[in-house]
Amino acid sequence: MVTFLIRDFPDLDHLFPVINVFLKKKEKVIILNFEINLNLEKDPKIKYLLKNYEKNLNIYEVYNIKGERFLIDNIIKFLSSKKFKEINFKNLKNLKRENNIIYFTFLLIICYLKKIIFSSQTRIENYLFNEKWAKNIFRKVNITSLVMDDSYYFNFSRPKSLIEICKLNNIKIILMPHTCHMFTRKEDLDNLKSKKLENFYPKIIVTSNKMKQILNSCGINQTKIVNLGSARFSSENLNLLNTIYPKNKDEEKKLIDNKKIRVLYIDGSYDNSVDKISLINEILKLKNIELVVKAHPRGMFIKNQLSNKQKKLTENNTSNFLIDISTPTKKLIDNSDLILGTYSSILVEAMLSKKQIILPKFLIKDHIEFEIFYEKFGFAKISNNITEVIKYINSYSGNSSDQNLESIENFIQDYVYGGRKNSLNILEEYYNLIK
């Protein structure tokens, strides 16, 4: 049975279209949820799958699978139960507001225990989630093929015990691209090269020949690298997402009536913090602007993780500024006129929607050897300082003819569709490789 391993909610964006294809073909699918704080069943995409393919879809919370270590496994199961899914330090402010002091103290203890037990890259992790733990999962779940995020495979120790057992049992492992690769960074390449990948045994999917060459230079044999393009940005998946996230007619009318320029800044975790606060403050001085910041899961704009200095940005804001954590990015892009961003694959959504992209390149000035693949195609407005960003915003006309649409199409073919003219067969190729 094909098993998809979910580390975090961004993984679902890339794995979902392939999961859906298997279920459409009446294949049985297992999803293993490895994220302690993620309630998969609340996600609209999972709701859609359960509604349409419930008989063929099994979702396992790996920490709830009963093991043989009586005390340890029961503690893990208790802390990972559904009632504690949203009990964590990120949600501390809401917990304090919604509970009395006694129960809040209890929840605070739960937060600490979850933090200690489920933290990554620790000795505790290696002890608790060892080979014995993984063997139990393998026995309880009928894994015939394992699909997982490539970054989880390369950079985290949690799944390694399960990977080794799959390897010993000749289970095929396919690594899905964590992202539609938009950039390379020297530190990332050095990290890969240090892993001595000559004996790399899974197959790894990439979204462009550029990434195929890069992974080959890091030691992975060409025969192990398959360029299938991006499943997430295939037309079939985007059409399905339009069904799952239907447009709100009242909201659309409000946007049409609103005469302000709507600017969306997609925060990047490598963007310089001081410079991006300065950039936001300058944009907010413009009178005819509405600015939304889409917070990155590892970025500084997750509200309850802001430092006191950064909080001033939200406390002193005007009505034309919003930090958004939960709205699907596709919806934010559809509702925006201008998109600011550096390297996130979310920018592909903007390209497909023919939105004007501004690249504030000075935000990644700390990373000298940082190559952004779409920069050389010439359709993004490259900005080397804040003044240039403001100039591009002020000159925005709303006319798509100002853009080089042919260059956008060329980039999408090369880096999103894997060299194909369109995405019509991408999901079928994923299915055939994984099955």
pLDDT at site 69: 86
Q: Per the structure block, which two tokens stand in for 284?
A: 């907010």
Q: Measured in whole angstroms, how far is the alpha carbon of residue 76 from the centre of its chain? A: 26
User: Does residue 425 lie within any of the structural domains?
Assistant: no
Buried b (16+ CB within 10 A) or exposed e, 299-315: bbbeeeebeeeeeebee
Q: What pLDDT does residue 304 have?
A: 53
Residue range 126-131: average pLDDT?
A: 90
Q: How many domains does the chain have?
A: 2
Is there a single domain that holds both residue 265 and residue 120?
Answer: no
Question: CB neighbours (10 Å) of residue 425?
Answer: 15
Q: Is residue 34 over pLDDT 60?
A: yes
Q: Check whether residue 254 and residue 128 sit in a common domain.
A: no
- The answer on 152 and 39 residing in a single domain is yes
Is pLDDT above 70 for 42?
A: yes
* Average pLDDT of the residues in 212-218: 94
CATH value at residue 260: 3.40.50.12580
Residues 150, 284 share a domain = no
Q: Is the pLDDT of residue 402 over 70?
A: no
Are residues 24 and 148 both part of a single domain? yes
Of 176, 194, 228, which residue constitutes the final position of a domain? 176
- Domain co-membership, 141 together with 264: no
Contact indicator for 232, 205 with CB cutoff of 8 Å: no
Average pLDDT, the chain: 89
Last residue in a domain, options 176, 202, 225? 176
| Residue 146 banded pLDDT, cuts 50, 70, 90 | very high
Is 231 inside a domain boundary?
A: no
- DSSP states along 327-391: S-HHHHHHT-SEEE-SS-TTHHHHHHTT-EEEEEGGGGTT-SSEEEGGGGGS-SEEESSHHHHHH
Last residue of a domain, one of 135, 161, 176: 176
Comparison of pLDDT for 283 and 367, the residue scoring more? 283
Residue 163: inside a domain:
yes
Q: Is 423 within a domain?
A: no
Tell me the residue range of the domain where 303 lies. Answer: 250-416
Judgement on whether residues 143 and 32 belong to the same structural domain of the protein:
yes
pLDDT at residue 263 is higher than 90: yes
Shared domain check, 113 and 24: yes
pLDDT of residue 257: 62
Strands 370-372 and 183-185: antiparallel
pLDDT at 383: 95
